[in-house]
Structure 1
Amino acid sequence: DVYVVDLFDRRGIIPGLLSKGKKVVCYFSAGTYEDWRPDIGQFPPDALGNGVTTWRGERWVDIRDTRIRDVMRKRIQMAQQQGCHGVDPGNVDGYTQSDLGFNLTYDNQIDYNRFLASEAHNHGLAIGLKNDLLQIKDLLHDFDFAINESCEQFRYNVQKNCLLYQPFFDARKPVFHIEYVRSSSAAHAQRNAICSNRPSDMNTIIKVALTNYKVDC
């Protein structure tokens, strides 16, 4: 079994998972500043951009800034020290946003994501590509697995649907897929549709948002 655990908020459960032989992947945001994290003092104010519209207290960061990369290097080192087998850096597709507060290009994002992959591997950790579907072909060889949120919800969107993971399937690299619903009853009601429509090579769970309740395919 593979568990994705918040590097900061849930690190207390990591030793127990490891003692049971579970694989632990540690999540942190690599593309944003979150004002509730214990290392916020390490973020240079002039490298912070606009707020993330969906989360209060979260702001985009300028991934071109070497000081931001220093923060992420320390987070990866922390994941190694906590015993994580891999890392799940989130918000690594900021270049697609139009309101960052600065301009990031496709190549800026590729360079940063490869930096994260290199740092993870240098620390003996696997690394997953979180969403960032439009860069899959360029980053396939740098990342060990992928984690996607809600690609089945966007099955009619050619830039966001699950079929974009075909390069990962062909390379026999795992793709962990999460679909979010609003309630446990919705999870069961939508299970057949979600599980039958998504590519069979995906490892899919249906999760009630912001809870631990989930249903497997």
Structure 2
Amino acid sequence: MSRNPTDRWQPQPGTPWQWQLSGELDLTVDVPVYDVDWEVPRGVVDRLHADGRRVIGYLSVGTAEEYRSDVGGFPAEVVGAALGDWPDERWLDVRRIDLLATVLLRRLDVCREKGFDAVEPDNVDAWTHQTGFPLTAEDQLRFNRWIAGAAHDRGLAVGLKNDVAQAADLVDDFDFAVNEECLRFSECRALDPFVAAGKAVLHVEYGMSPTKFGRTAPVRGFSSMLKNRRLDAYRVTHPGG
């Protein structure tokens, strides 16, 4: 697909969405935006486009996932500690863009070739975790801006995943934000710069009953859902959203 790198889609605050990374994909949810794994077949992206949807591709850029076919492309020296509750993922040394670029840029190329409108690069907050590497805030900013620029070079919009501590610094580099559990961690206000800039915040909470979720105050301008942590088809929207 030929793209003009300056002609990017940008979701607006409050845009409804569906996020599904596991289970049989339900492509019938009546929303304008889907977020799915970057390795779905091209036909899935085409089907969603034919139904009038925009499509975001989820890909981890801050970890090596053992189940990905290209994981062997990461040199051992850039693969660090295991990622919390995800033993099949290990943190990457984001200081070493020179050693990460081949794999990560190829993934972005695949997303462009499949026709994705945007990408959601995950695990871009390594500097706040125990990674096995002495990462700094500046290391993370440099890496995050690099991945955003690489997506933009391919005509893809790009979302800032979590990394709320640097949201104000990165709002100009990213086209929207994706957030998990900012209500639980009292971090939602850190993403206000995105809403103020007319950029969507695609937000999920986990582990609540629908009743409890409905009693929480909606976050102004956010696109909020209650999801299962495994990110299957289950989806509850906020009644006040």
Do the two structures share a fold, i.e. TM-score over 0.5?
yes
1:163 aligned partner = 189
Closer, same or farther: CA 33–12 of 1 in aligned 2, 3 Å? farther
Correspondence list, 1:76-155, <5 A: 76-97=108-129, 99-155=130-186
Cα deviation 1:100-122 (Å, max 9, x = unaligned): 11111100000000001100110
| Aligned-residue offset at 1:13 | 2.3
Aligned to 1:158: none
- The structure where helix makes up a greater share of residues is 1
Q: 1:190 to 1:95 in 2, by over 3 A?
A: same
CA-to-aligned-CA distance 1:161-181 (integer Å, 9 cap, x gap): 101111111111111101112
The share of aligned pairs that are identical, in percent, is: 38
Q: Hey, what's the Cα distance between the residues in 2 that align with 1:200 and 1:100? A: 34
Aligned length: 205
Taking the aligned partners of 2:119 and 2:71, their CA distance within structure 1 comes to 19
2:13 aligned partner: none
Amino acid at match of 2:90: R
Q: What amino acid is the match of 2:113?
A: Q
Cα deviation, residue 63, structure 1: 1.1
Which deviations, in whole Å up to 9, do the C-alpha atoms of 1:16-62 show, x marking residues without a partner? 11211110000000100000011112111111001112102110011
What secondary structure is seen at the aligned counterpart in 2 of 1:134? helix
User: Do 1:50 and 1:101's aligned partners in 2 also have CA atoms closer than 8 Å?
Assistant: yes
Check whether the contact 2:162–2:180 (CA below 8 A) recurs between aligned residues: yes
Counterpart residue number, 1:190? 212
Cα distance between partner residues in 2 of 1:136 and 1:124: 22
CA–CA distance in structure 2, aligned partners of residues 8 and 179 of structure 1? 25
Taking a change above 3 Å as real, the CA distance of residues 43 and 137 of structure 1, as seen in their structure-2 partners, is: same
Letter in 2 for 1:95: W
Aligned residue type for 2:234: Y
Match of 2:106 among 74, 86, 111: 74
**What is the deviation of 1:10?**
6.5
Higher relative contact order (CA 8 A, sep 6+): 2
CA distance in 1, matches of 2:41, 2:189: 32
Paired with 1:56 and 1:10, the residues of 2 have a C-alpha distance of 26
TM-score, normalised to structure 2, is 0.81
Q: What is the identity, as a one-letter code, of the residue corresponding to 1:137?
A: A
Residues 34, 58 of structure 1: 8 Å contact kept:
yes
Contact 2:42–2:115 under 8 Å retained in 1: no
Q: What's the offset of the Cα at 1:11?
A: 5.8
Q: SS at the partner of 2:52?
A: coil
Distance 1:102 1:94 in 2: 9
Instruction: Give the Cα separation in 2 of the matches to 1:119 and 1:113.
Output: 10
- SS of structure 2 residue aligned to 1:114: helix
Alpha-carbon shift at residue 9 of structure 1 (Å): 5.1
Instruction: Look up the equivalent residue of 1:192 and give its one-letter code.
Output: G
Tell me the TM-score normalised to structure 1 length: 0.90
Q: Which residue of 2 aligns with 1:212?
A: 233
Point out where structure 2 has 5 or more consecutive residues left out of the alignment.
1-31
